[in-house]
Structure 1
Amino acid sequence: MKVQQKTLIANKKEIPYTHIENGNEIVCFMFSGLSYTYDQPLFYYSTMTMLQNEYDVVHVHYSYGQDIFKLPLAEITNMISHDVKPIIDDVLKSNQYQETMFLGKSLGTIPLINDLMKNNRYVHSKMVLLTPLLRFDSIFETLLMCKHSTLIVIGEKDDHYIPSKIESIQHQTNMEIKIIPNANHSLEMEPFHTAMSISALDQVMKSVDDFIRL
């Protein structure tokens, strides 16, 4: 296994990324949350799950301030997409990958749902959406139209868990949806409970592992 730390200059901006290579023909691009980064449990163990299945992994290390959510969603989408797409292009240009898949959490699901899912280039790519931001109507509406092989994982106590929207997605698409009881936006238990949070993490990773093996 080879781990490379790289930096790409795109749109007059430096974007670092980590490329973990197993020599596989499948690569998973990961997009972090606003303050939920790759060393935190969901990404750490998602990365381990990909590596366990011998996939290559790319972590995109973008960085935004807390005020990003004051912007219109279209502007947020464009901002993040302009940062991640040059890295995707660079990795795919430099390697002979036969398949791509994507995993994002929270903020990181925005470019997946509002951009990459609408791009025919990635129509066969699997999508893992951890805690997608369903309070945004355009996010929800795009998911209803989505034909991708997709796994959604969301907590029952997440502010973005909206039962009526989840039910509509279940009825109108073929997406797999995993709802974690009593879990918050970090997919941890509320009130805090260490053993139950670890159990929830185990459920999430089993769902991701089963999904990518399909």
Structure 2
Amino acid sequence: MKIKPKHAMYNGLSYSFFDRKSDKVCFMLSGTGYTYDKPILYYSTALLLELGYDVIQINYTFEQQHFEQDSQAISEMVYRVANPIVEKCLQSKPYREVVYLGKSLGTMPIVDYYMQQTPSIPARYVLFTPLLSLQHTMANLLDKHAFLAIGTADPHYSQEKLAQLATLQLAVLEDLNHSLEIPLNVDLSIQHCQSLITQLKIFLQNN
């Protein structure tokens, strides 16, 4: 990636800022083990930069004991550490559009908080492998608009639950696991990654 990020700290948390001098911004929230250098988040970052977005990757980590809370408390925990950076960056420039993109754990505060708020500027939401097995996730997704990608081999995949999310743009990928890959099948994993990035590009360019 030719555009190198600026690394900064705010409120005790680091973030990486890819500056395209843009009036559009994407905040990225990673999964627990699925970091920004993994394929889907790496190429999503590259796509957003290609489309002219500033990109801000929020670099949180949590100790294992933090995941012993109930799921709503975990969602609040991630929101509480990430949101000060979101607010700071939104106040720093007159952005006219914001994208919230999350993977797994990172989708929780997007679904439970950002998608429930009335945004001050137009917002889009991208959910890679959200935790559809959680009751509050499903409840907060009903009648909302977002791009949702999940594989049929993901433990959180449910055809029945996806059928309830008719207002979302869905990318359901055959045989992909929670990492959006097919283990020991590099060719198919790459093909699915390309397909997913293409679908994401269409979603982001759709007015």
Structure 1 and Structure 2 fold alike (TM over 0.5): yes
Alignment of 1:83-162 (within 5 A): 83-121=81-119, 124-146=122-144, 148=145, 150-162=146-158
Structure 1 segments (4+ residues) deviating >6 Å: none
Confirm whether residue 212 of structure 1 aligns to residue 204 of structure 2: yes
Confirm whether residue 194 of structure 1 aligns to residue 174 of structure 2: no
Q: What is the match of residue 3 of structure 1?
A: 5
Looking at structure 2, the residues matched to 51 and 159 of structure 1 have their Cα atoms a distance apart, in angstroms, of 31
Confirm whether residue 164 of structure 1 aligns to residue 160 of structure 2: yes
Contact 2:129–2:151 (Cα < 8 Å) also in 1: yes
**How many pairs does the alignment contain?**
204
Looking at structure 2, the residues matched to 81 and 122 of structure 1 have their Cα atoms a distance apart, in angstroms, of 18
Q: CA deviation at 1:119?
A: 1.1
Contact 2:102–2:127 (Cα < 8 Å) also in 1: yes
Looking at structure 1, the residues matched to 120 and 94 of structure 2 have their Cα atoms a distance apart, in angstroms, of 16
Q: Measured at CA, do residues 66 and 155 of structure 1 come closer, stay the same or move farther in structure 2, by a change above 3 Å? A: farther
Confirm whether residue 46 of structure 1 aligns to residue 48 of structure 2: no
Q: Measured at CA, do residues 42 and 168 of structure 1 come closer, stay the same or move farther in structure 2, by a change above 3 Å? A: same
Unaligned runs of 5+ in 2: none
Q: What is the one-letter code of the residue matched to 1:4? A: K
Contact 2:24–2:53 (Cα < 8 Å) also in 1: yes
Contact 1:100–1:122 (Cα < 8 Å) also in 2: no
Structure-2-length-normalised TM-score? 0.94
Q: Measured at CA, do residues 145 and 103 of structure 1 come closer, stay the same or move farther in structure 2, by a change above 3 Å? A: same
Structure-1-length-normalised TM-score? 0.91
Contact 2:72–2:136 (Cα < 8 Å) also in 1: no
Looking at structure 2, the residues matched to 176 and 66 of structure 1 have their Cα atoms a distance apart, in angstroms, of 33
Q: Measured at CA, do residues 16 and 120 of structure 1 come closer, stay the same or move farther in structure 2, by a change above 3 Å? A: same
Q: What is the match of residue 20 of structure 1?
A: 18
- The RMSD of aligned alpha carbons is 1.4
Contact 2:148–2:168 (Cα < 8 Å) also in 1: yes
Q: CA deviation at 1:123?
A: 7.5
Q: CA deviation at 1:92?
A: 1.1
Q: What is the one-letter code of the residue matched to 2:176? A: A
Q: Measured at CA, do residues 197 and 66 of structure 1 come closer, stay the same or move farther in structure 2, by a change above 3 Å? A: farther
SS in structure 2 of the partner of residue 187 of structure 1? coil
Q: What is the one-letter code of the residue matched to 1:196? A: L
Contact 1:116–1:122 (Cα < 8 Å) also in 2: no
Unaligned runs of 5+ in 1: none
- 1:63 pairs with one of 61, 64, 68: 61
Q: CA deviation at 1:120?
A: 0.9
